[in-house]
Amino acid sequence: MILAADAEQELKKAEPALIAAQQALEMLDKKFIAEIKSFSSPPPDVATVMSAVMIILGKDTSWAAVKKELADSQFVKKVMEFDKENIPPQILKKVERYTKMENFQPAYVSKISQAAGALCMWVRSIEDFSKALKVIEPKRKKKAYAEEQLRKKIEFLEGLQAEF
């Protein structure tokens, strides 16, 4: 059960950032989304954040595609309900190019656009969560294997006890 505790500990490290990002997203309303959509030519840092969001969502990163995505009334819901446990490694690698940028910081981006700041926080937390998951996934598998082996041995012992 040490494996289970290790796995839980790793996930707990990423959890606060994920919760904070979810809360920031919950505060986004149509006004903030409209703010980003209204940019005919967005500030570079807003464009960067939106490109990272689009990469995670598996969409085209052009500004026209971003505006179209933001026009979807379900955009915030899509982001909030995104399957963060199954992000392909190649997507994370692309996102990392953005998150390594000096200005890719929620506090900095929020000064330009609150919505982009919240989405920046979401991108960073998705990345952190995925990295933690990468560490714990082998532990989860070992734990499942150990539990299966234990179950088989218990069945075997029960079979022996029934004989005697």
pLDDT in tens, 94-124: 999 999 999 999 999 999 998 999 899 899 9
pLDDT value at residue 95: 95
* CB-based burial, 86-115: b 16+ in 10 Å, e otherwise: ebeeeebeebeebbeeeebbbeebbebbbb
The predicted structure's pLDDT at residue 17: 65
Say what percent of the chain tops pLDDT 70: 84
pLDDT for 3 beyond 70: no
Contacts of 22 (CB under 8 A, 6+ apart): 80, 122
pLDDT in tens, 36-79: 988 889 999 999 999 999 999 999 999 999 999 999 988 888 88
DSSP state at residue 109: H
Q: Domains of the chain (ranges plus CATH)?
A: 2-135 (1.20.920.60)
For 48, residues 6+ apart whose C-beta sits below 8 A from its C-beta are 98, 101, 103, 104
Does 12 have pLDDT greater than 90? Answer: no
Question: Residue 163: which pLDDT band, with cuts at 50, 70 and 90?
Answer: confident
